[in-house]
Amino acid sequence: RLWNVYLTSTGKSDEQIINLMKHMREEIQGSSPLYQLGALMIKLGEFDKAEEVYINLLKHTFDEREKGNIYYQLGHIKDSQELHDKALDYYQQALTIYEDKLSPDHSNIATCYNNIGLAYDNMGDYQKALPFYEKALDIYQKTLDANHRNIASPSSSIGLIYNTMGEYQKALSYCTTAHEIFQT
């Protein structure tokens, strides 16, 4: 069951509500209202409802790039539910579509690599996680400003893996990079 809710600002004292609405619009983007609804359900922690929305949307979507985005969101849901093996399946499906439809250095590909690395990391499979983090970092370094926060995430993850593996000099280098970015 879907509901339409209309909110009306009743005066200038509602500035906080207006700012919240603006923030939510920026945070919950998507190509269709259903996609946005799924993203909102994720934000609210309603993962089963979000999954239902995205599975339904997947059945009615013919655009391959949009399917990639939906598979990515389904992966995010499964990761949030700590079902990392299922998350990997969805992320792999998204990555396959992205690699076919997007440029090799597209941010969606980098984000997919990073989240595949994260899923392996959460499963304790650091050897499999590392190359995905490295691929994400490589794309981010090619396409983003050197101090962009997206560079810090895989840098930190790589550093922590090297720390776990006892390669402390490499760990220090990557963690220092992440720390410096987070300080800016």
Work out the pLDDT band at 104, boundaries 50, 70, 90: very high
pLDDT tens digit sequence for 44-78: 999 999 999 999 999 999 999 999 999 999 999 99
pLDDT tens digit sequence for 111-164: 999 999 999 999 999 999 999 999 999 999 999 999 999 999 999 999 999 999
State how far the Cα of 121 lies from the Cα of 124, in Å rounded to an integer. Answer: 5
How buried is 118 (Cβ within 10 angstroms: 0-12 exposed, 13-18 middle, 19+ buried)?
Answer: buried
Supply 174's token pair: 């990557």
Instruction: Please give the pLDDT value at position 33.
Output: 87
Q: CATH number of 29-101: 1.20.1630.10, 1.25.40.10, 1.10.3720.10, 3.20.20.80?
A: 1.25.40.10
Q: Taking the model in full, what pTM does it have? A: 0.83
**């996609």: which residue's tokens?**
35
Average pLDDT of the chain is: 89
Tell me which residue of 41, 70, 46, 42 sits closest to 58, measured CA to CA.
70
Instruction: Please give the pLDDT value at position 53.
Output: 96
3-state secondary structure of 162: helix
CB 79 within 8 A of CB 129: no
Give just the sign of the alpha carbon dihedral 106, 29, 73, 35: negative
Instruction: Report domain extents, the chain.
Output: 29-101
